[in-house]
Amino acid sequence: MTHTTLAKPLLCIAHRGGSQQFSENTLAAFEESLNIGVDAIELDVWNLGGELLIAHDRRLGKTLPGGGRLIDQQPHQLKELILACGNRIASLTEALQLIGDRATLNIELKSPDCAELVAATLESFVRDSGLGFDQYVVSSFDHPQLYRFKQRLPQVKRGILVEGIPLHYAAGFDELDAYTFHPSINFINAELVNDAHRRGYKVWVYTVNEEDDMQLMSELGVDGIFTDYPKRLMTLNAQCC
């Protein structure tokens, strides 16, 4: 059996909390990953009736019990739902309070109208907590919304999410003035990584769960990975170099 080794350590980003014990995107999942010392937590936010709730899927029935579209639900009803692990859906404010300065927080904008509310929530939390903006990254596949977020709160770093390989690799995103470039593991090659680095981006790849893929990302020069299995990566990082 081939032993997996990394060419260099990778930033460990717990994807949706990265828990195998608790439901994704829950405070319990975040706490589990924080306790093992991950570098960053990733979560997904929706503006639902003027409240920022943490969830990934656009429909109920997978992680959240019930049925129908998430955007058609009332926030107070969603907060009453019991998830499979016994926890409830959380708000962005609750996650900010839990995570504090214990890790970097990557906030993915999911609903089409949450940039302004996320910016206002971060401003309020930073003001009240005395923390800074440096530990936050706001990312999205919705690049126009990411641009609106930049206009509203330029102090917060931005991450560009892409699904495929753009025709001109990482070119064409200058207006976003982003910190990170987030390609999918399903569409990754050395040229894309190298081009992103030449343009000044850190490269964080999603979602990397297998050790041989972690090794490949390290060999490609990737800076960090989103993973559902942070313990795997942390073990490899500890053995590296």
Q: Is 76 a catalytic residue?
A: no
Q: Is 143 a catalytic residue?
A: no
Only one residue has tokens 């962005």, namely 92
Q: What is the pLDDT of residues 51-90, one digit of tens each?
A: 999 999 999 999 999 999 999 999 999 999 999 999 999 9
Name the pLDDT band for 240 (thresholds 50, 70, 90).
confident
Is 52 inside any structural domain? Answer: yes
Catalytic residue (one of 3, 15, 76, 197):
15
Is 123 inside any structural domain? Answer: yes
Q: Which of 45, 6, 58, 42 is nearest to 212 (CA)?
A: 6
Is 36 inside any structural domain? Answer: yes
Percent of the chain at pLDDT above 90? 98
Is 187 inside any structural domain? Answer: yes
CB atoms closer than 10 angstroms to residue 101 = 12
Q: What is the model's pLDDT at position 209?
A: 98
What CATH number did the domain enclosing 88 receive?
3.20.20.190
Name the pLDDT band for 2 (thresholds 50, 70, 90).
low
Show the domain range for 67.
Answer: 11-239
**Number of domains making up the chain:** 1
Is 80 inside any structural domain? Answer: yes
Asked if residue 70 lies in contact with residue 55, where contact means CB atoms within 8 angstroms, the answer is yes
Is 48 inside any structural domain? Answer: yes
Task: Determine the 3-state secondary structure of 134 from DSSP.
Answer: coil
Q: What is the pLDDT of residues 129-170, one digit of tens each?
A: 999 999 999 999 999 999 999 999 999 999 999 999 999 999
**pLDDT averaged over the chain?**
96
Is 97 inside any structural domain? Answer: yes
Catalytic residue (one of 56, 76, 143, 197):
56
CA–CA gap between residue 152 and residue 102 (Å, rounded): 25
Is 171 inside any structural domain? Answer: yes
Q: What is the pLDDT of residues 85-144, one digit of tens each?
A: 999 999 999 999 999 999 999 999 999 999 999 999 999 999 999 999 999 999 999 999
Beta bridge partners of 13: 40, 226
Dihedral angle computed from the Cα positions of residues 145, 146, 148 and 151, in that order, rounded to the nearest 10 degrees: 180
